Amino acid sequence: MTVDEGVRSQGGRAVGRSGRAAVRELLAPLLEAGPLDVVDVGGGTGPLAVPLAALGHRVTVVDPSPDALATLERRAAEAGVRVRALQGEAAGLQDAVGAASADLVLCHSVLEYVEDLDAAVEALVAALRPGGGLSLLVPGALAAVVQRAVAGHFEEASELLAAPGGWAEEPRRFTPESLLELAAGAGLAEPEVHGVRVFADLVPGGHAEADPHAAESLRALEAAAAVHPVLRSLAARLHLFARRPA
């Protein structure tokens, strides 16, 4: 089974509710090209790493939590795959795995918490081989505004909307523009930004999941919104993929 088939078999719920599934689909062409050396920074218990290892990729997880890494090792053993587990953080990635050692570096739900954003991204890029790809998944700034407004917290939504400087506070929130600036500052090439979960978090619970046709319609809507120049900015998560120049 290919990555894309695995994601599609989960139906609309996978794309609607799981950022991991949506990102795997975005990365499917690269992952299906052949076995890769993959480093998953902050990969924790292995929700991405174990399935990637099952597809034949050589996967290393770097995470600061020894408990998470222990769970990862048990999970990998139960799945019958091998995943290397290393304790460390994004800023020290080069020391952990070596320079220019990875074809693909995943850093999902991490950059919103790192102390020095530029140093962390520099370390991620340094771990890539020339031509290698960097996958970042971060929270969207405007989604926080929309979610608070939908929940009836209008004053909080107004404060977030009026004070974009606050998006730099922990956890950081990003816009497509700020992600592209980050990629440019790191010297990355071919940057692409997609929205993940543009509408799904706003759909009433269970509505799409109870109706297969509605679930597929939501899935198609999410796919179109993911690359829409305006709608992608409203996504709960933003995904950046870019390459280290060859």
Q: How confident is the model at residue 16 (pLDDT cuts 50, 70, 90)?
A: very low
Instruction: For residues 213-234, give the mean pLDDT.
Output: 90
Residues facing 95 on adjacent strands = none
Residue range 3-243 in CATH 3.90.228.20 = no
Provide the residue type at 100 as one letter.
A
Map residue 115 onto helix, strand or coil.
coil
> How many Cα atoms occupy the beta-carbon half-sphere of 5 within 13 Å?
4
Q: What is the mean pLDDT of the chain?
A: 86
In this predicted structure, what is the pLDDT of residue 208?
64
146-161 burial, b if ≥16 CB within 10 A, otherwise e?
Answer: bbbeeeeeeeebeebe
CA distance 238 to 195: 5
* pLDDT of 7 over the 60 cut: no
Q: Is the dihedral angle over the CA atoms 181, 183, 188, 193 positive or is it negative?
A: negative
pTM value is 0.86
Which value, to the nearest 10 degrees, does the dihedral of the CA atoms of residues 199, 202, 204, 207 take? 10
β-bridge pairing 58-63 and 37-41: parallel
Categorize the per-residue pLDDT at 167 as very low, low, confident or very high, splitting at 50, 70 and 90.
low
Which residues, at least 6 apart from 56, have a Cβ–Cβ distance to it below 8 Å?
35
What per-residue confidence (pLDDT) applies to 46?
A: 95
Any idea which of 14-18, 43-47, 149-153, 187-191 has the lowest mean pLDDT?
14-18
Contact assessment for residue 82 and residue 76, using Cβ atoms and an 8 Å cutoff: yes
- 139-153: average pLDDT: 91
Q: What is the pLDDT of residues 48-97, one digit of tens each?
A: 999 999 999 999 999 999 999 999 999 999 999 999 999 999 999 988 99
Task: Name residue 209's amino acid.
Answer: E
Among 66-75, 160-169, 226-235, whose mean pLDDT is lowest?
Answer: 160-169
> How many of the other CB atoms lie within 10 Å of CB of 93?
28
Dump pLDDT digits (tens) for 173-205.
999 999 999 999 999 999 999 999 999 888 776
Find the radius of gyration of the CA atoms of the chain: 18
